[in-house]
Amino acid sequence: MSGTGQDKAAKTGRWMIWLPLVLFAAFVALVMIGLFRPAPREVASTLIDKPMPEFDLPPGLPGRPGLASADLKGGEPHLVNIFASWCLPCRVEAPQLERLAAMGVPVEGISVRDRTADLQQFLATYGDPFERIGADDDGQVQLALGSSGVPETYVIDGKGVIRYQHIGEIRAEDIPMILEKLEEARR
């Protein structure tokens, strides 16, 4: 009787001896998955479906209107493009913004940490699709919007609520999706 009990104990002992190795292998597997899975580099704003923070930016160009959050509550959806003359992908994106503006989409700009002369040159070279451009020289409105880089484009509905954030440049293939988001914002 006691013999079988000891056998049983010996058996569980033999099985138990592998447990640390199994745990260690599981740990290594976990670390490997974490190491080799590409980490997300984008930091998305958590303000989606929340009202646009209040702001009132001075004009980026003399003689043109600046941008205030009140301008975005007119009942029609807007695109708000965060851009800068020093930003290379913004140049890639410029023709797509022009296309959207040509389709009748109101495109507003917020230029981040920029200079008037640089901005003028940028718009003269790559096109100017903007109805208004607010100059966010110290980058505080960018932070208020939860934007972590340039370019980023927000879809704002007619009540001034953020409906979508596009991180990175808008490419030709993104246009249908952007139009759909604008259509959703209209509803």
Partner 1 sequence: MKHVLAMLLGLIATTLAAPAVLAQEEQTAPYAYRQLDDPEQEARAHDLMVTLRCLQCQGQSIADSDAPIAGSMRSLVRERIAAGETPDQIRDWLMERYGDYVSYEPRVTALTWPLFALPVVLILLAVVLLRRRFRSGRAAA
Does 167 sit near partner 1 (CB under 8 A)?
A: no
Which residue, 145 or 182, has its beta carbon nearer to partner 1? 145
Which residue, 122 or 164, has its beta carbon nearer to partner 1? 122
**55 near 122, Cβ under 8 Å?**
no
The residues in 137-166 that bind partner 1, with binding defined as CB under 8 A, are 137-140, 142-146, 148-149
Which residue, 81 or 85, has its beta carbon nearer to partner 1? 85
Which residue, 87 or 100, has its beta carbon nearer to partner 1? 87
- For residues 135 and 141, give the distance between their C-alpha atoms in angstroms, rounded to a whole number: 9
Does 56 sit near partner 1 (CB under 8 A)?
A: no
Number of residues that bind partner 1 (CB under 8 A): 27
Which residue, 145 or 185, has its beta carbon nearer to partner 1? 145
Q: Minimum Å distance from CB 99 to partner 1? A: 24
The residues in 108-137 that bind partner 1, with binding defined as CB under 8 A, are 113-115, 118, 121-122, 137
Chain residues binding partner 1 by CB under 8 A are 41, 43-47, 84-86, 88, 113-115, 118, 121-122, 137-140, 142-146, 148-149
